[in-house]
């Protein structure tokens, strides 16, 4: 088209000469040759210049496209602002070399009529003619248009957020957690602006994690077999706890002149009943704690042991000396065998110990008037040991009272929603197996992302009952690995805010959830990744939610964003998702050695399993370096560091603009 126009313009310019030649009958060949040469030169020159025009047009279009894309990528919560327009122009200028293309009057104008959802560009340039300028045509204007929009169709984003105690540390004028809240809310705004006016479905899920995760409500709601009496949760579970022991005394008053006698019970444990004086019951090894609990015998009744002894006390004072009488005591030794389950190596075994007491019967001489009385129990001491508790009522969210308070007082507690993980193995290393889609060794059911619980108790979770959790110490206050102890302390525990499954969220609901996050506890990256995976997996226990078809029937891109401000930090005296680790030893062999390293091995295996499901993992290291484990976990080109609030916001904005693919729409 450019060539046709050029030839037409040449003929128009030399019209007189052409007409003269056409009527000349003199037979001269020179004028004809000159005329032909002019036409030929115009045709050749037109071809040369036309090819240059097409080349410039292509380069101009490519630069325009690059500028529009850059401008769309630069859109943030403030829409298509000056910064976004500047980014668009910069990319255009980098991609279009004016001198090389021999053009003048180059311009590029990026605009947006929808505040950044779509960026439109118009680029113009005048192409200098090389040959056709001899015929009076010095340049030809070229104009192209371009448009870039974000190719967001449907997005699922699971935020796995570190809400450990260190997140309360100061970061500039706020805290790390405060900066995280602002950045996550800005992320929502950016994605909302991008999808406004489209059919895209955007869903969000949250997994706040520390040493625990709060997923109890999710398990109850999605346990389709029994949502109100959840069968996915154990009815009986052993907790590192304590049992109150009491002495009893008689309270006496007077009312008649007849003889009186009253039995009184007092028991005192012999020292041989404590501090590891235990033995294995039977020879059976059990693969899991639930299997051991199912086989454990009930504690035996107190039975007489050995001969009784009798003693008499004269002038025994009753009621502060109101009366003095003779009291005869018959002391009968008694024994009881108590049982509990505990881990030994890679198996669980039933252990037993013998408790002793002296059951004392008292007979009082004649009183005038006669004393009547009642037995009053007095707290004596604690037995710190594993205790199997009935969880059936507690797991339904109903308040339950247990005698674990001060001096054996009743303590009422209601389940917050944190859980203890199902059966695992204390292996030193774990690895994802692409052939099976599982993490090896497969005996660790806690690392099975997708499988729902079955009738096997080893596949079920337990409600975490922190009010009952204690660790054992010796007389000096040091950790005591024995199965029984007279001393101990309450295990620390932190239950973060409840996790959520994928759902569309209004800005108000999203911001309200984020604003309620609090900082507490220690860092367990593997736990956050595990439940982020369960909530995001199309083939898992929440698959019915994950696989809900969007209304536009378009594909769904899945993303998991892990934010953390530190390395793993196991808390072996706390009540965590793996119990009181110093005693339960579900991760380590001795309660603490290589604890962090073993959690890291689990974390890396879980990251591989998540990426194998087609879920893109983004990692942000806040106020800390990006460790090799974090880099390993992240998908390609998906790891960020942030040392300030602004850097954290930049990282989240970068991810927000990439969760949907940018594309040229025109």
Neighbours of 626 (CB within 10 A): 15
Average of per-residue pLDDT values in the chain: 85
What confidence tier does 294 reach under pLDDT thresholds 50, 70, 90? confident
Phi, psi (5° rounding) for residue 2?
-60, -40
Question: Residue 32 has which token pair?
Answer: 């004809």
Summarised one tens digit per residue, pLDDT across range 136-165 is: 677 889 999 999 876 567 999 999 999 999
Query: Do 422 and 456 touch, CB atoms closer than 8 A?
Result: no
Looking at the structure, tell me whether residues 124 and 169 fall in a common domain: no
Kindly report the pTM of this predicted structure.
Answer: 0.74
Strand (E) or helix (H) holding 107 = strand 103-111
Structural domain total, the chain: 3
Same domain, 162 and 112: no
What CA–CA distances, in Å, run from 450 to 229, 441, 500, 527, 657? 22, 15, 17, 15, 30
Contacts for 497 with CB less than 8 Å, ≥ 6 apart: 163, 208, 214, 513, 516, 517, 518
Report helix, strand or coil for 516: coil
Which CATH number characterizes residue 562's domain? 3.40.50.410
Q: Cα–Cα–Cα angle for 387, 391, 393, nearest 5°?
A: 140
The pLDDT assigned to 136 comes to 63
Q: Above 50 in pLDDT, residue 629?
A: yes
What is the pLDDT at residue 496? 96
pLDDT above 90 (res 477): no
Is the same domain home to 543 and 602? yes
- How confident is residue 428, by pLDDT bands cut at 50, 70 and 90? very high
- Residue ending a domain, among 331, 364, 388, is 388
Sequence-ordered list of residues with C-beta below 8 angstroms from that of 343, at least 6 positions apart, any chain: 289, 584, 585, 586
Instruction: Please state the rounded mean pLDDT for residues 108-134.
Output: 85
Is the same domain home to 277 and 304?
yes
The domain boundary, picked from 388, 416, 445, lies at 388
Residue 619 lies in a domain: yes
With 70 as the cut, is the pLDDT of residue 561 above it? yes
Shared domain check, 176 and 139: no
- Residue 97 DSSP symbol: -
Tally Cβ neighbours within 10 Å of residue 330. 14
pLDDT at 173: 95
- What is the DSSP secondary structure assignment for residue 639, as one 8-state letter? E
| Residue 89 belongs to some domain of the structure | yes
Length of the chain, in residues:
666
Whether residue 461 is contained in a domain is answered as no
Which residues are registered as beta bridge partners of 15? none
Asked if residue 192 and residue 71 are part of one domain, the reply reads no
d(CA 584, CA 540): 28
Q: Kindly state whether residue 397 falls inside one of the protein's structural domains.
A: no
Point out which residues pair with 124 in neighbouring strands: 107, 143
For residue 273, give its domain range.
236-388
- CA 441 to chain CA centroid, Å, is 23
Specify if 189 maps to a domain: yes
Does the N-terminal peptide bond of residue 120 adopt cis geometry, omega within 30 degrees of 0? no
Query: Which of the two residues, 515 and 198, has the higher pLDDT score?
Result: 515
Q: CA-CA distance, 539 to 654, in Å (whole number)? A: 29
DSSP 8-state assignment for residue 571: -
Question: Looking at the domain assignment, is residue 438 inside a domain?
Answer: no
pLDDT at residue number 75: 81
Which tokens belong to 55?
Answer: 């080349």
Quote the crossing angle between the two packed helices 15-23 and 29-73, to the nearest 10°: 150
Count the helices and strands in the chain (H runs, E runs).
Answer: 15, 30
CA–CA dist 140, 42 (Å, integer) = 16
Packing angle of the helix pair 176-195, 507-515 (nearest 10 deg):
170
CA pair distance 272, 278, nearest whole angstrom: 9
Q: Which of 151, 174, 192 is the last residue of a domain?
A: 151
Q: State whether residue 22 is helix, strand or coil.
A: helix
- How far is CA 227 from each of CA 30, 131, 219, 222, 232, rounded to the nearest angstrom? 104, 84, 8, 7, 9
Q: Is the pLDDT of residue 645 over 50?
A: yes
259 lies in the same domain as 322: yes
Residues 192 and 296 in one domain: no
What is the pLDDT, as a whole number, of residue 310? Answer: 92
Residue 447 is predicted with a pLDDT of: 97
Q: Is residue 316 domain-shared with residue 191, that is, in the same domain?
A: no
Q: How large is the angle between the packed helices 2-13 and 29-73, nearest 10 degrees?
A: 140
pLDDT at 322: 54
Torsions phi, psi for 240 (to 5 deg): -70, 110
Spatial distance between the Cα atoms of 439 and 617, rounded to a whole number of angstroms: 18
Q: Do both 122 and 185 map to the same domain?
A: no
Are 275 and 380 part of one and the same domain? Answer: yes
Span 227-243, mean pLDDT?
89
Q: What is the pLDDT of residues 28-38, one digit of tens each?
A: 555 555 555 55
Same domain (yes/no): 511, 660: yes
- Strand-pair category, 278-280 with 370-390: unpaired
Strands (E), 112-187: 118-128, 139-151, 154-162, 170-171, 174-175
Confidence of residue 2 (pLDDT cuts 50, 70, 90): very low
| pLDDT at 227 exceeding the cut of 80 | no
Of 25 and 147, the structure prediction assigns the larger pLDDT to: 147
Q: Is residue 70 part of a domain?
A: yes
The verdict on residue 399 lying in a domain is no
> What is the per-residue pLDDT across 37-53, written as a single tens digit (0 to 9) for each?
555 555 555 667 788 88
Angle between the 525-536 and 595-612 helix axes, to the nearest 10 degrees?
A: 20
User: How many angstroms separate the CA atoms of 3 and 221, rounded?
Assistant: 72
pLDDT over 90 at 406, yes or no = yes
């Amino acid at each position: 088209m450019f060539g046709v126009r050029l030839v037409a313009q040449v003929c128009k310019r030399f019209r007189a000469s052409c007409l003269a030649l056409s009527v000349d009958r003199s037979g001269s060949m020179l004028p004809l040759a000159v005329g032909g040469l002019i036409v030929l030169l115009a045709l050749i020159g037109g071809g040369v210049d036309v090819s240059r025009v097409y080349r410039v047009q292509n380069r101009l279009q490519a630069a325009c496209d690059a500028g529009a894309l850059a401008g769309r990528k630069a859109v943030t919560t403030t829409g298509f602002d000056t910064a976004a327009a500047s980014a668009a122009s910069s990319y255009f200028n980098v991609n279009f070399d004016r001198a090389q293309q021999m053009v003048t009057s180059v311009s590029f104008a990026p605009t947006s009529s929808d505040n950044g959802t779509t960026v439109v560009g118009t680029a113009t340039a005048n192409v200098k003619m090389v040959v056709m300028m001899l015929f009076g045509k010095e340049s030809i204007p070229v104009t192209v248009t371009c448009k870039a929009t974000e190719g967001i169709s449907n997005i699922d984003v699971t935020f796995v957020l570190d809400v450990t105690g260190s997140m309360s540390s100061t970061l500039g004028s706020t805290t790390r957690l405060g900066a995280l809240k602002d950045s996550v809310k800005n992320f929502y705004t950016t994605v909302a602006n991008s999808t406004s006016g489209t059919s895209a479905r955007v869903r969000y899920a949250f997994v706040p994690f520390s040493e625990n995760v709060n997923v109890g409500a999710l398990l109850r709601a999605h346990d389709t077999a029994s949502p109100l009496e959840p069968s996915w949760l154990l009815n009986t579970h052993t907790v590192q706890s304590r049992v109150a022991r009491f002495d009893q005394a008689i309270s006496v008053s007077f009312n008649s002149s007849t003889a009186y006698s009253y039995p009184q019970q007092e028991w005192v444990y012999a020292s041989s009943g404590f501090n590891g004086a235990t033995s294995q019951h039977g020879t059976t090894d059990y693969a899991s704690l639930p299997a051991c609990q199912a086989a454990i015998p009930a504690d035996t009744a107190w039975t007489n042991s050995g001969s009784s002894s009798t003693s008499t006390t004269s002038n025994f004072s009753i009621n502060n000396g109101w009366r003095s009488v003779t009291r005869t005591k018959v002391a009968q030794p008694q024994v009881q065998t108590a049982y509990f389950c505990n881990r030994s190596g890679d198996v669980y075994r039933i252990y037993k110990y013998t408790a002793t007491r002296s059951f004392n019967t008292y007979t009082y001489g004649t009183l005038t008037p006669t004393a009547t009385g009642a037995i009053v129990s007095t707290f004596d001491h604690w037995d710190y040991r594993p205790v199997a508790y009935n969880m059936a009522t507690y797991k339904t969210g109903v308040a339950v009272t247990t005698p674990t308070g001060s001096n054996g007082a009743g303590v009422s507690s209601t389940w917050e929603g944190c859980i203890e993980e199902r059966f695992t193995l204390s292996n030193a290393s774990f690895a994802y197996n692409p052939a099976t889609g599982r993490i090896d060794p497969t005996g660790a059911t806690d690392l099975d992302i997708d499988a729902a619980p079955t009738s096997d108790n080893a596949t079920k979770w337990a409600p975490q009952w922190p009010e009952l959790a204690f660790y054992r110490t010796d007389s000096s206050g040091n950790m005591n690995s024995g199965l029984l102890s007279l001393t101990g302390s309450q295990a620390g525990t932190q239950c973060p805010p409840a996790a959520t499954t994928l759902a569309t969220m209004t800005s108000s609901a999203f911001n309200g959830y984020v604003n309620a996050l609090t900082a507490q506890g220690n860092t367990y990256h593997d736990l956050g990744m595990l439940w982020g995976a369960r909530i995001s997996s199309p083939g898992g226990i929440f698959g019915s939610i994950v696989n809900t078809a969007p209304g536009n029937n378009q594909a769904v891109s899945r993303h998991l964003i892990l934010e953390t401000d530190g390395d793993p930090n196991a808390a072996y005296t706390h009540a965590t998702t793996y119990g009181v680790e110093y005693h339960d030893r579900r991760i380590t062999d001795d309660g603490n050695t290589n604890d962090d390293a073993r959690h890291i091995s689990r974390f890396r295996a879980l990251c591989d399993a998540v990426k194998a499901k087609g879920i893109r993992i983004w990692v942000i290291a806040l106020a800390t370096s990006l460790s090799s484990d974090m880099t390993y976990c992240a998908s390609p080109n998906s790891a960020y560091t942030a040392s300030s609030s602004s850097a954290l916001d930049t990282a989240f904005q970068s991810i927000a603009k990439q969760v949907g693919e940018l594309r040229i729409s025109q």
